[in-house]
Amino acid sequence: MQRCSTIFLKIAVILIGIPVLALSIFRLNWLANNPTNPDYTPGLIIIGMVPIFASMVITVFAAVLQRLLKEAVNIKSENDLMV
């Protein structure tokens, strides 16, 4: 059960992170090359969404690390009891 949820959290980090990274690389590059087009307001919306998605990625990644740390502590305590 725990292993399945850890794998799910890892997949969630990847699925959230790839679009955010792609949008920030390609859209920011496009906006840097074409700054004189005032009709392109969706780019500003995308730039506003990047911090939101980045914070979601950081939150999920922190949850993954927390789960992995708990599992490592449990394994260590079990191994200490066996000795």
pLDDT in tens, the chain (83 residues): 567 777 887 888 888 888 878 877 777 777 667 666 666 667 777 788 888 888 888 888 888 888 889 888 888 888 877 65
Q: Which residues span the domain enclosing 39? A: 2-82
Instruction: Quote the DSSP letter at residue 21.
Output: H
Backbone angles phi, psi at 39, to 5 degrees: -80, -5
- Residue 37 phi/psi, 5-degree rounding, is -90, 100
Crossing angle between the packed helical segments 2-33 and 42-82, to the nearest 10 degrees: 150
The count of domains in the chain is 1
Whether the model pTM is above 0.85: no
CA angle (74, 69, 19) in 5-degree steps: 140
